[in-house]
């Protein structure tokens, strides 16, 4: 459903930065990941209202600002027009400014969760993603730079209708002790029994890297 989009001013402290990913599913024949930038998760306020929120930014914006966990930042963004295709609360971010840098960079020496360095989109594309259980995503993995909650479009009736949902994925090392795939995911199609993604596509999408990579 399309909503009216409104521009909002916001400010807050970054608590997590994750890849901003969309996924196209078609039965078990295809699971295509597209990488658009990053989602910033913040604790702060939007138009004077306090609370947690998230803002989508581009890869170029992240490369320029080098945001990291603990930074206090501010900017503007727009409410999303299509709630099913964007996980972040706000998108089309602008006027981004670091108000105060975190005292120290995130410690990359004692993962997991992996807090730094933030991967670029080419790295996510090369590594491929595995399904990540929702409980892991919301728990120990939430601050990890390899975790993402993707907006998924399911080709339900080819060329006619799609279904939408959000799914959590991981681009991190296969050896991570926190990782759990979770339950197989049903992929429905009109007039047929659903297929189930039970991890076989994970193996295909990540076959180019070793256990510890």
Q: Report yes or no on 97 lying in a domain.
A: yes
Tokens 């929120």 sit at which residue?
Answer: 53
pLDDT (0 to 100) of residue 65: 97
- Kindly state whether residue 159 falls inside one of the protein's structural domains: yes
For the chain, the average pLDDT equals: 95
What is the tens place of the pLDDT at every residue in 34-82? 999 999 999 999 999 999 999 999 999 999 999 999 999 999 999 999 9
pLDDT at 103: 84
pLDDT of residue 1: 60
Please check whether residue 113 lies inside any domain of the structure.
yes
Residue 211 lies in a domain: no
Question: Is residue 213 one of the residues assigned to a domain?
Answer: no
pLDDT in tens, 169-208: 999 999 999 999 999 999 999 999 999 999 999 999 999 9
The answer to whether residue 126 sits within a structural domain is yes
Alpha-carbon span 5 to 162, nearest angstrom:
23
If pLDDT is split at 50, 70 and 90, which confidence band does 4 have? confident
Which of 45, 41, 133 lies closest to 88, judged by CA? 41
> What does the pLDDT look like over 91-121, one tens digit per residue?
999 999 999 999 876 665 668 999 988 999 9
Q: Give the pLDDT of residue 56.
A: 98
Residue 5 has pLDDT above 90, yes or no: no
pLDDT band at 13 (very low <50, low <70, confident <90, very high): very high
At residue 12, the pLDDT reads: 98
pLDDT at residue 146 greater than cutoff 60: yes
Which SS3 state, helix, strand or coil, does residue 81 take?
coil
- Residue 84's Cβ-count burial label (10 Å; 0-12, 13-18, 19+) is middle
- pLDDT the model gives residue 107: 60
**Average pLDDT of the residues in 118-143:** 97
Distances in Å between the alpha carbon of 1 and those of 163, 164, 185?
12, 11, 24
* Closest to 213 in 3D by CA, of 158, 165, 172, 155: 172
Which domain range does residue 119 map to?
A: 7-205
- State yes or no: pLDDT of 32 exceeds 60: yes
Domain count, the chain: 1
pLDDT of residue 108: 56
Residue 1 falls within a domain, yes or no?
no
Q: Report how far residue 162's alpha carbon sits from residue 160's, in angstroms, rounded to the nearest whole number.
A: 7
Q: How far apart are CA 109 and CA 174, in angstroms?
A: 18
Does a structural domain hold residue 212?
no
């Amino acid at each position: 459903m399309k909503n009216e989009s409104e521009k909002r001013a916001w400010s807050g402290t970054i608590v997590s930065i994750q890849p901003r990913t969309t996924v196209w599913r078609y039965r078990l024949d295809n699971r295509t990941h597209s990488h658009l930038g990053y989602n910033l998760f913040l604790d702060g306020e939007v138009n004077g209202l306090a609370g947690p929120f998230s803002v989508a930014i581009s890869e170029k914006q992240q490369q320029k600002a080098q945001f990291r966990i603990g930074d206090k930042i501010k900017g503007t963004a727009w409410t999303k027009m299509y709630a099913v295709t964007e996980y972040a609360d706000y998108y089309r971010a602008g006027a981004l400014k670091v108000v105060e840098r975190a005292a120290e960079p995130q410690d990359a020496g004692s993962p997991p969760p992996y807090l730094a360095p933030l991967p670029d989109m080419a790295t996510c594309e090369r590594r491929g993603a595995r399904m990540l259980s929702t409980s892991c995503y919301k728990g120990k993995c939430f601050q990890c730079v390899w975790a993402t909650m993707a907006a998924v479009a399911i080709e339900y009736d080819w060329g006619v209708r799609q279904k939408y949902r959000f799914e959590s994925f991981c681009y991190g090392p296969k050896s991570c002790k926190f990782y759990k795939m979770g339950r197989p995911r049903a992929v429905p199609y009109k007039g047929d029994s659903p297929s189930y993604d039970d991890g076989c596509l994970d193996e295909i999408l990540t076959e180019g890297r070793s256990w510890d990579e």
